[in-house]
Amino acid sequence: MASINVALLIGSKKKTIMACIEFHNACVDFPIYNASSRSLKKQLIQVATGGKLSANDQGRVIVRALEDLTFSLNDGDRVGLLGHNGAGKSTLLRLLSGVYAPSAGTASISGEVASLIDISLGIDPEASGRENIFMRGILLGMTKSDIAEKLDEIIEFSELGDFIDLPVRTYSSGMHLRLAFAVSTTIRPEILIMDEWLSVGDEGFKHKAEARMNELVQATSILVIASHSRDLVLHTCNRVIWLEHGKIKMDSDPETVTRAYFGH
């Protein structure tokens, strides 16, 4: 029987003594509806996700995106996820974020979790920048009072000026990203989940963004970041997990794993 135990999910105000993530034989399956198991197996050996095709007890085709993941993360861990497209990195990030529950095995997460997988999630182009700060903040688990307290700081950091009260549809792509970044990085979670390093804006703003990101990571007990960058992983992480076809191929220090993954 699969289970996920999230002691503190996004938005919780309780604090644990220590952030911790424990996975034991965790699997994630995606069912494919309205498809014949026999015909699909004839046509496909692998699917684009890199997962395995099989059938459940009802004969429904399923894709196993993650298989038998067992690992633990504790305070101070800065974990890089490596793997080619379709290896299961995004699925694992969503499992860690609480978007998915394991189909088999267990996933136990203790600590306040925040995900920066999609910083523009929840942004409404018809609403003003100010209104979007509240909507995006609530999605991140902040209360209205939390957002109101940080509102001036967010607006100042975004450098949007009077545009903050105009609809986001009037923004340039750079302005849109600055707004999303300013809101999303105001949080200080115990566990931070990221898909690549965030870097937005022109050269002047990039320096601010880089400093904000470093500050956010330093304040986080556990960081999990998926990346294709060798330099980022070596600079940021103290541990690297290499995924291949939904399984852990290697779990070791950054130098060892990047040498095996990228080559010399």
Tell me what pLDDT residue 34 has.
62
> Is the Cβ–Cβ distance between 108 and 26 less than 8 Å?
no
CA distances from 49 to 64, 67, 125, 245 (A): 9, 13, 31, 8
Tell me what pLDDT residue 9 has.
42
> Is the Cβ–Cβ distance between 181 and 118 less than 8 Å?
no
Tell me what pLDDT residue 17 has.
56
Collapsing DSSP states into helix, strand and coil, what is residue 25? strand
**CA 10, CA 113: separation in Å to the nearest integer?**
5
Tell me what pLDDT residue 191 has.
97
* Closest by CA position to 88, among listed 30, 5, 14, 151: 30
Tell me what pLDDT residue 20 has.
96
Tell me what pLDDT residue 87 has.
94
CA distances from 141 to 96, 112, 178, 183 (A): 16, 10, 20, 12
* Closest by CA position to 261, among listed 245, 246, 240: 240
**CA 113, CA 230: separation in Å to the nearest integer?**
25
Tell me what pLDDT residue 237 has.
96
The dihedral built from the CA positions of residue 215, 219, 225 and 231, taken in this order, carries a sign that is positive
pTM: 0.81
Instruction: Give every strand in the sheet of 113-116, ordered side by side.
Output: 113-116, 191-195, 222-226, 78-82, 239-244, 247-252
Tell me what pLDDT residue 2 has.
58
β-bridge mates for residue 3, sequence order? 106
Collapsing DSSP states into helix, strand and coil, what is residue 233? helix
Tell me what pLDDT residue 58 has.
62
Tell me what pLDDT residue 36 has.
54
Tell me what pLDDT residue 32 has.
76
Residue range 68-80, pLDDT digits in tens: 999 999 999 999 9
Sites in the chain below the pLDDT cut of 50: 1, 6-16, 37, 42, 45-49
Q: H/E element holding 256?
A: helix 254-262
Tell me what pLDDT residue 199 has.
77
Residue range 193-251, pLDDT digits in tens: 999 888 787 778 888 999 999 999 999 999 999 999 999 999 999 999 999 999 999 99
